[in-house]
């Protein structure tokens, strides 16, 4: 779980992993001793605290960041079927999938080569009378210029959804990112900055109507969100046609079970209390790796913050192998994996190159040169809060030994 002696070459250096200890375990055991494991008191506190971090008013704890994205799209763009939503081509699948599943038309634009985030000039160029929204991920945790995106959304009457599944707690010019978004999402998957016992997500809104609608969709589509009070005069003051009925089992919408569990929220609350601790370690690790790779400019393009005045919470350490370098990405990744250093490609790269997306209804504005380059040349390695100096030394020594061979 936490620290143990590291044996280079024998122990795996993970790209990311959950770090937890006795406090998280105790919180779950305390929750398990209660009479109820579904949405409960821990969930409500967790929702409130995460909403405050993002600068949003309302939050709903759900089973994943993917579900959070789907619910955000459902709440804000439910009446806009066949409308166009601008989103980057370099992305993660579950940023795009909710648009497709909701009958919307994604309009893909390229990203910047060293931030991996959407090119905002291209976003503005792509807006047309059919555009209804912007679906913008903070890829690898790198924050977009949300103030500029908010100005675009206001000028053209668009909904702005920030997919912050890769990050939590980042700020832009001292302001939480959710201040600018109509909806914000985040994820507590096992490999993310904090986790809710291996999973979970949060969808957040400024508007109470959106939050209440989303709660109904999350909870099977039942009207029970309106009938939490068990008093019979409230519960049974409902009719289906001429039949008096229990309001807790009236279905108002076509919904799903996207709920998370209270033990997850209890675990997540302890993790949330450690966010600053985790962030300091991750920033230290990121800087060590950044300074190391800066010594090889002929081989690597380094990551750059999309907004200089932002506090970025990077999910992992990203870099691009220059096309002019003799390094072959797969060779480097295999060299590291063979030495027990876990690696990843930079998520989907250009999502349109992946089989399920080749036949979807979509548009492309401009070319996708950078998304294609990231698909071919991008790599991720760990900078998470479970890594100590000895882990990083081993990673850097391994890369140096590889470079000596090419």
Active site residues: 192
Q: Which residues contact 180 (CB under 8 A, 6 or more apart)?
A: 146, 147, 149, 150, 160, 162, 172
Give the distance, in angstroms, between the CA of residue 36 and the centroid of all CA atoms in the same chain: 29
Tokens of 21: 């200890």
* Among candidate residues 139, 136, 119, the one with its CA nearest the CA of residue 180: 136
Q: What are residue 403's phi and psi, to 5 degrees?
A: -65, -30
Q: How many CB atoms lie within 10 A of CB 119?
A: 20
Rounded CA separation 16/384 (Å): 6
In 223-368, which ranges are continuous DSSP H helix?
A: 232-235, 262-273, 275-293, 329-338
CA distance 365 to 348: 19
Cβ-proximal residues to 352 (8 Å cutoff; 6+ apart), any chain: 89, 108, 358, 362, 364, 368
Neighbours of 302 (CB within 10 A): 16
Asked if residue 165 lies in contact with residue 146, where contact means CB atoms within 8 angstroms, the answer is no
Which is it for strands 131-137 and 84-88: parallel, antiparallel or unpaired?
parallel
Contact 85, 133 (CB under 8 A): yes
β-strand pairing of 300-301 with 317-321: antiparallel
Tokens matching residue 383? 């900078």
- Which residues, 6 or more positions from 222, have their beta carbon under 8 angstroms from its beta carbon? 216, 248, 249, 250, 251, 252, 255
Beta strands in 195-275 (DSSP E): 201-205, 238-240, 243-245
Neighbours of 62 (CB within 10 A): 28
Task: Specify the 3-state DSSP secondary structure of 329.
Answer: helix
């Amino acid at each position: 779980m936490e620290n143990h002696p590291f044996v280079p070459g024998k122990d795996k250096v993970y790209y990311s992993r959950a770090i937890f200890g006795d406090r998280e375990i105790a919180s779950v055991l305390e929750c398990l001793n209660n009479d109820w494991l579904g949405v409960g008191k821990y969930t409500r506190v967790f929702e409130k605290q995460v909403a405050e971090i993002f600068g949003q008013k309302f939050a709903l704890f759900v089973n994943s960041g993917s579900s959070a994205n789907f619910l955000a799209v459902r709440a804000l763009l439910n009446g806009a079927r066949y409308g166009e939503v601008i989103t980057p081509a370099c992305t993660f699948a579950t940023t795009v999938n909710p648009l497709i599943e909701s009958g919307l038309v994604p309009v893909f634009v390229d990203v910047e080569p060293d931030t991996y985030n959407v090119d905002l000039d291209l976003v503005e160029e792509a807006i047309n009378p059919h555009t209804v929204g912007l679906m913008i991920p903070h890829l690898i945790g790198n924050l977009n210029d949300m103030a500029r995106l908010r100005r675009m959304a206001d000028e053209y009457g668009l909904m702005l959804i920030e997919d912050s599944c890769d990050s939590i707690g980042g700020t832009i010019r001292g302001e939480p990112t959710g201040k600018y978004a109509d909806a914000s999402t985040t994820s507590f998957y096992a490999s993310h900055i904090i986790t809710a016992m291996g999973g979970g997500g949060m969808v957040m809104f400024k508007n109470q109507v959106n939050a209440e609608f989303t709660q109904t969709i999350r909870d099977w589509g039942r009207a029970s969100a309106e009938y939490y009070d068990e008093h019979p005069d409230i519960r049974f003051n409902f009719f289906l046609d001429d039949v008096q009925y229990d309001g807790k089992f009236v279905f108002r919408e076509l919904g799903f079970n996207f709920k998370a569990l209270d033990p997850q929220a209890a675990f997540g609350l302890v993790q949330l209390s450690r966010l600053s601790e985790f962030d300091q370690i991750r920033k230290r690790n990121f800087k060590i790796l950044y300074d190391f790779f800066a010594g090889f400019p002929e081989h690597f393009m380094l990551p750059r913050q999309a907004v200089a005045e932002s506090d970025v919470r990077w999910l992992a350490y990203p870099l691009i192998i220059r096309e002019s370098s003799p390094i072959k990405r797969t060779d480097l990744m295999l060299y590291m994996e063979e030495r027990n250093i876990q690696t990843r490609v930079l998520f989907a790269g250009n999502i349109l190159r992946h089989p399920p997306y080749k036949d979807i209804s979509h548009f492309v504005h401009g070319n996708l040169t950078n998304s294609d380059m990231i698909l071919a040349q991008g790599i991720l390695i760990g900078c998470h809060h479970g890594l100590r100096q000895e882990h990083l030394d081993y990673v850097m020594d391994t890369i140096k030994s590889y470079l000596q061979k090419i």
